[in-house]
């Protein structure tokens, strides 16, 4: 519940203090382009209460080319990270505080993710949705390419690929979420 309240506070602050561009808007959701530093500070507030979470984000920052997907869903034990390191043989792991599990992507998924990584435009996004699924959830996606963060996507209420958009960068990010999600449940 504290995370949901924090998300709402962040959204109010983001709307009041930051110049942002609304990229997608429909009756239920909007996606805003936000300054990367502000977005990172906002989602850091959610994971900074746990050394495990902090260490996962810090370890990911050492990866040159890769993907981090962070999920927290109310009622599910703790946070879950999926981290893919493209430079270490496409090493992929799903990690919770008490377990680590190797993830094996298909050759087709590896090629799709690699292609997406090469064409993404650098941007940071905040997704806000008024509809919820009856439970609190939080998604963070960070993509690194050539040793820099090119994508940060923060969605504190709904899954990012539920948004309908014509924006190509968002569509590519949704493809990444879909591939990551599919492998999350394997």
Which of these, 130, 121, 184, 186, lies nearest to 162 by C-alpha position?
130
Out of 5-9, 93-97, 132-136, least confident range: 5-9
The partner residues of 83 in beta bridges, in order of sequence, read 68, 93
Residue 78 has pLDDT above 90, yes or no: no
Confidence at residue 116, expressed as pLDDT on a 0 to 100 scale = 96
pLDDT of residue 186: 77
Question: What is the pLDDT at residue 103?
Answer: 95
pTM score: 0.84
Residue 4 has pLDDT above 50, yes or no: no
CA distances from 11 to 20, 126, 132, 164 (A): 12, 9, 15, 21
Q: What is the dihedral of CA 112, 117, 123, 128, to 10 degrees?
A: 30
Q: Does residue 19 surpass a pLDDT of 50? A: no
70 bridge partner residues: 81, 140
């Amino acid at each position: 519940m504290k995370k949901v309240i924090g998300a709402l506070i962040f959204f109010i602050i983001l709307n009041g203090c930051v110049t942002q561009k609304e990229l997608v808007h429909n009756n239920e959701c909007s996606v805003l382009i936000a300054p990367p530093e502000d977005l990172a500070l906002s989602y850091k507030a959610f994971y900074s209460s746990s050394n495990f979470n902090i260490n996962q984000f810090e370890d990911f920052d050492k990866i040159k080319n890769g993907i981090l997907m962070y999920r927290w869903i109310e009622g599910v034990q703790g946070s879950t990270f999926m981290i893919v390191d493209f430079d270490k043989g496409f090493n992929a792991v799903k990690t919770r505080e008490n377990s680590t599990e190797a993830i094996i992507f298909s050759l087709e998924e590896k090629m799709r993710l690699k292609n997406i990584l090469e064409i993404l435009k650098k941007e940071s996004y905040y997704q806000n949705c008024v509809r919820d699924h009856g439970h609190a959830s939080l998604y963070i996606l960070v993509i690194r390419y050539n040793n820099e963060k090119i994508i940060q996507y923060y969605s504190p209420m709904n899954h990012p690929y539920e948004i309908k958009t014509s924006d190509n960068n968002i569509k590519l990010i949704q493809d990444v979420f879909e591939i990551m999600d599919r492998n999350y449940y394997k």
